[in-house]
Amino acid sequence: MRKIYVRLTSYAALWSPRFGGVSLLALVIVSLLHRFSLIRTHIFLVCSSIAGLLALIALFLAAKGLYDLWENGDRGGLKSLKGIVYSLITLTPISAFLFMWCVMPPLNDISTDTDTPPHFIGEARPADALPVAADLSGQANLQLKEWPELSGRRYDGSPDRILKSVRNVLDAQGWPIKAQRGVDGEDDELFIETEAKTFYLGFISDIVIRLTDEGDTTFVDMRSASRYLYRDLGVDASFILTFMDALDTEMLSTPIDQDNE
């Protein structure tokens, strides 16, 4: 009697793209939900971790499927490759996030003035946000080493003129003004609080800008604190540098005698 060879199918290869597809779909969905502030950051991080775990399972199953193909000739090579593709697409941004978490300074609150940083305004910062310190001098050296160009700005003109430019830059950046404290002409310091969001994942930072009246000049300090991340991955410094550069450009394009209009 002629023997009939039956080629088996690797169950590992069969399940690999399923786990990989679910992990990729889950990561995309939670990323979009978080980007548009429909879920909290801690929920996003937990769901992303689960998606990463599913991707690792898919990668393991794909490896098992390829092993079964090599050793036993089992079907499932293409499914294993599909599982590898799905899992790598999922794991790439997660790995990049973890890499940045490890290599960037362990900071989540950055200020141009670490000795007397601008204070946030009352209830403008949510109650469930991470606490902020009154003194950031302990991180001054680390902050200076990582971002030596991070500093406040001194501009010629009264605070009300500088305030107009600050508002213009905030509007151009798409950062909404959440609160303001101080009255021009009565207080030596004016404060504006806003918030900024990262483009892709929507991590939110609360920002406060302080304008100090020095007579003929006005000094501008800025502070950016991540709302829910214990490490901001350099985002807060990036917000400050972007804003300050834009404010420099705005001030250069604003005639000094506009203050007298």
* Residue owning tokens 């899992």: 87
Q: Spell out the long-range contacts of 45-49 with Cβ–Cβ below 8 A and sequence spacing 24 or more.
A: 48/94, 48/97
Helix, coil or strand: residue 131: coil
Write the DSSP assignment of 208-230 as a string of letters: EEEEEE-SSEEEEEEEEEESS-S
Report whether CATH 3.30.310.80 matches the domain 109-253: yes
CB 185 within 8 A of CB 163: no
Single pTM value for the model: 0.88
Dihedral, CA atoms, 166, 131, 236, 187, nearest 10 degrees? 20
At 175, phi and psi to the nearest 5? -100, 115
Using one digit for the tens of pLDDT, what is the confidence trace for 5-41? Answer: 556 778 889 999 999 999 999 999 999 999 999 999 9
**Nearest Cα to Cα of residue 159 among 132, 186, 179, 178:** 186
Residues in the chain: 261
Q: What tokens were used for 71?
A: 């050793």
**Cα–Cα distances in angstroms (integers) from residue 94 to residues 50, 97, 100, in the given order:** 11, 5, 10
The pLDDT tens digits along the chain (261 residues) read: 566 555 677 888 999 999 999 999 999 999 999 999 999 999 999 999 999 999 999 999 999 998 888 888 778 889 999 999 999 999 999 999 999 999 999 999 999 999 999 999 877 788 889 999 989 999 999 999 999 999 999 999 889 899 999 999 999 999 999 999 988 777 899 999 999 999 999 999 999 999 999 989 999 999 999 999 999 999 999 999 999 999 999 999 876 655 444
Distance in angstroms (rounded) separating the CA atoms of residues 73 and 10:
9
Domain ranges of the chain: 11-103, 109-253
Distance in angstroms (rounded) separating the CA atoms of residues 225 and 138:
16
